[in-house]
Amino acid sequence: MRWIVAAVLALALVIPFGSGIPVTRANGSTVVTYDFIANAANAEWNGWEPSTSYPLTFGVQSFTQGFAVSFSGDLEAGGPVNNALETYPPTKAPGGITGDYRHIYIPENATLKVEFAFKQGANATDGVEVGVAFTEDKPSMPVFDLFRRNKTYDQSIMAAEYDLGPFGSKVGNFQLFVRSGASATADALVWTAAVITIPTPLAGQPAVVTYDFMNEAYNAEWFGWQAGSSQPLAFGAPASALGYAGVYDGALEDGKNYTNALQTIPPSSANSGLTGEYRNLYIPSHAQLRFIFGFQKGVNATDGVEAGVGCFQAGVADFEQVVSKVYDNALKEEVADLSSYADIFAGFQMFVRAGASANADALVWVRAVIEVVPDTPSVVPIVLHFFVGSQTYYVDSLAKQMDTQPMIVESRTFLPIRYVAQELGAVVDWYAPDQKVTITLQGKKIELWIGKNSAAVNGAYSLIDPANPNVVPFIQPPGRTMMPLRFISENLGAKVEWFPPTEARVTWPAP
């Protein structure tokens, strides 16, 4: 399919050529959610010349028609690369080569990153035009020319980043393209990087969805099977004795209403099943599989099903995350770790298996995603040493000074809590009208009040010391706010130890 030749000329009115969308994201680690180079063999490659285009087979070289192949060797900048992507347009100018990548899910806050250069020795080229285009996977959607650059043989690698934020949570089709100049001689362009990335979510942040099985259900291959035979099903076709897969809006067994859910009903015979196959999905690092499902409200005549998701490579099942589900007025949630599949392409299969009866097995999926979970950074433990009656304290072996001595009150150690918080990286806020102290660290929020024996941890209230209701924060003249060390430290994830006669030791995080 040749989108660019006919469509892209009108797009200068949508996004100016050569500009792209600037990225203003802070520096930090990233996770690749799709790799165009690694998946190049699964793209649809075409060569085109004036008034004609033709399909190309990835990996087959033809200088007349153009080609796309894996490349390992030296670039014009002088350095070697491995497993890069060479795209060579036809030798009849003007011409070009395009690679179409279909049904790609774009996460929130995603960025397109590309790098390319000429093969070393291709200095006879008069340059090429390189770019990436995108169109949402819906009828009659516009094509967006994400970027377009002219590249000459100048002994450099060209790199660029483009914000995909406007397309977050959408499914669409990408096209990598290379156009020859007035001459098609030596236009051996090599892509050294072409990826979609997201910032690695940090501790305390929500997981980021990198693939949504629900959004892509209409592109999956659905089958109903029974008695050793299977029959393909059209997504959304009327329900039949062969089973059904389609969109569901309505109430589930938990009594709540859901929209744009996915209903999967196995064939009406016993011991049958329904499967949906998703192919060539890229699994990022730090990824997990999450799915939630339940029965349609009112189908309590079911004797239950087995449902789940399987992952396979080259047609061989690697694992199946299977859950038995009965009509129990609640939804079922399941999570599976995908870390052992990081940075590979695999197939996935959603399935529902009927029990001894296939009556009323109307199962509905309300969530089914691959998501990147927050990165847990390695932490070198911090050990704090406080001494009752001494203003000197230690961070590991480094001596520091407090302006108030820790003290024992009601058999508990109290001190100004900022000397703990600042060493752990926590934030302490004081709200004078309510005499409230708020301490936050990595998703934990602790609230305490002067003179009150209860505190709130992430909104849940409890006594500071269930064994002694007289343990309360207080103000020590001339104005130091004294807080209970153990309660706060342990709720921030630290271990507190007492070494008689005077030392309180805090280790964070708790071993």
CA–CA distances in Å: residue 62 to residues 47, 50, 164, 190, 339: 10, 18, 34, 16, 39
196: left (phi over 0), alpha (psi -120 to 50) or beta: beta
Q: CB neighbours of 475 closer than 8 A, spacing ≥ 6?
A: 450, 481, 482
Q: What are phi and psi of 391, to 5 degrees?
A: -85, -5
Both 71 and 7 in a single domain?
A: yes
181 and 248, same structural domain? no
Average pLDDT over residues 168-190: 93
**302 and 177, same structural domain?**
no
**Residues 424 and 494: beta-carbon distance below 8 Å:** yes
In this structure, are 281 and 411 located in the same domain? no
How confident is residue 22, by pLDDT bands cut at 50, 70 and 90?
Answer: very low
Which pLDDT belongs to residue 377? 58
Query: What is the rounded average pLDDT for all residues in the chain?
Result: 88
Q: Are 411 and 442 in contact (CB under 8 A)?
A: no
| Predicted local distance difference test score (pLDDT) of residue 285 | 86
Q: Which of 4, 30, 32, 19 is nearest to 160 (CA)?
A: 19
Output phi, psi for 203, to 5 deg.
-55, 135
Q: What is the mean pLDDT of residues 338-348?
A: 87
Buried b / exposed e across 237-273, counting CB within 10 Å, b at 16+?
eeeeebbbbbebeeebbeeeebeebbbbbbbbeeebb
Q: Which has more pLDDT, 9 or 329?
A: 329
Place of tokens 């014009």: 76
Highest mean pLDDT: which of 238-242, 343-347, 476-480, 499-503?
Answer: 499-503
Report whether pLDDT(5) > 70.
Answer: no
In this predicted structure, the answer to whether residue 7 has a pLDDT above a threshold of 50 is no
Q: Which residues contact 122 (CB under 8 A, 6 or more apart)?
A: 76, 153, 186, 187, 188
pLDDT value of position 157: 92
Judge whether residue 3 has pLDDT over 60.
no
Total domain count, the chain: 3
Query: Does residue 155 lie within any of the structural domains?
Result: yes
218 shares a domain with 367: yes
Same-domain status, 386 and 321: no
Cis bond leading into 232, ω under 30°?
Answer: no
In tens, the pLDDT along 45-94 reads: 999 998 899 999 999 999 899 999 999 999 998 789 999 999 999 988 88
Determine, yes or no, domain membership for 8. yes
On whether both 164 and 231 belong to a single domain, the answer is no
Where a domain ends, among 372, 396, 423?
Answer: 372
Residue 8 has pLDDT above 50, yes or no: no
Q: Phi and psi at residue 491, in whole multiples of 5°? A: -75, -10
Mean of pLDDT values over 213-222: 93
* CA–CA separation, 47 and 97 (whole Å): 4
- How much is the average pLDDT of 243-260? 96
The H or E element that residue 317 is part of is: strand 316-325
CATH no. for residue 450?
3.30.457.10
> For position 27, what pLDDT does the model report?
37
Domain that holds residue 334: 209-372
* 317 and 464 belong to one structural domain: no
188: CATH: 2.60.120.200
Q: Is residue 377 part of a domain?
A: no
Q: Do 49 and 165 fall into the same domain?
A: yes
> In this predicted structure, which of 24-33, 162-171, 322-331 has the lowest mean pLDDT?
24-33
Q: What is the pLDDT of residue 414?
A: 95
Query: Which one is predicted more confidently, 402 or 12?
Result: 402
Which band of pLDDT confidence, cut at 50, 70 and 90, is reported for residue 313? confident
Whether residue 462 contacts residue 454, with contact meaning beta carbons closer than 8 Å, is answered with: yes
What pLDDT is recorded for position 14? Answer: 28
Q: Report CA-CA distances (Å) from 246 to 58, 238, 280, 305.
A: 34, 9, 22, 18
Inter-residue contact 393 to 411 (CB < 8 Å): no
Q: Is the pLDDT of residue 26 over 80?
A: no
In the predicted structure, residue 11 carries a pLDDT above the cut 60:
no
Which residues is 479 bridged to in the sheet? Answer: none
d(CA 102, CA 85) in angstroms, rounded, equals: 18
CA dist., res. 173 & res. 167, Å (int) = 11
Task: State residue 19's pLDDT score.
Answer: 30
pLDDT tens sequence across 89-121:
998 888 999 999 998 999 999 999 999 999 999
**pLDDT-based confidence at residue 228 (cuts at 50, 70, 90):** confident
- pLDDT of res. 316: 52
Same domain, 177 and 310: no
Last residue of a domain, one of 171, 199, 227: 199
Angle at CA 386, nearest 5°, toward 383 and 392?
110
Mean pLDDT to the nearest integer, 426-438: 90
E strands, 50-154, in order: 52-56, 67-74, 80-88, 96-106, 111-118, 128-136, 143-151
- Is residue 208's pLDDT more than 50? yes
What integer pLDDT is reported at residue 21 of this predicted model? 30
Q: What does the pLDDT read at residue 104?
A: 92
Could you write out the DSSP letters of every residue in 236-296? TPPPBTTBEEEEEEEEBTTS-EEEEEEEEE--SSTT-EEEEEEEEEEE-TTEEEEEEEEEB
Predicted confidence (pLDDT) at residue 296 exceeds the cutoff of 80: yes
Residues 130 and 185 reside in one and the same domain:
yes
User: How many angstroms separate the CA atoms of 11 and 16, rounded?
Assistant: 8
Whether the per-residue pLDDT at 194 is higher than 60: the answer is yes
* Kind of pairing between the strands at 44-49 and 96-106: antiparallel
- Answer left, alpha or beta for residue 214, where phi above 0 means left and psi between -120 and 50 means alpha: alpha
Query: Where is the domain boundary, 372, 396, 413?
Result: 372
pLDDT above 80 (res 355)? yes
Instruction: Evaluate whether residue 182 is within a structural domain.
Output: yes
CATH number at residue 259: 2.60.120.260
* pLDDT for the residue 107: 93
Residues 310 and 433 in one domain: no
Say what the pTM is: 0.67
Range in 193-197, 276-280, 343-347, 361-365 with the lowest mean pLDDT: 343-347
- Residue 327 is given by DSSP the state -
CA 492 to chain centre: 27
Question: 204 in a domain, yes or no?
Answer: no
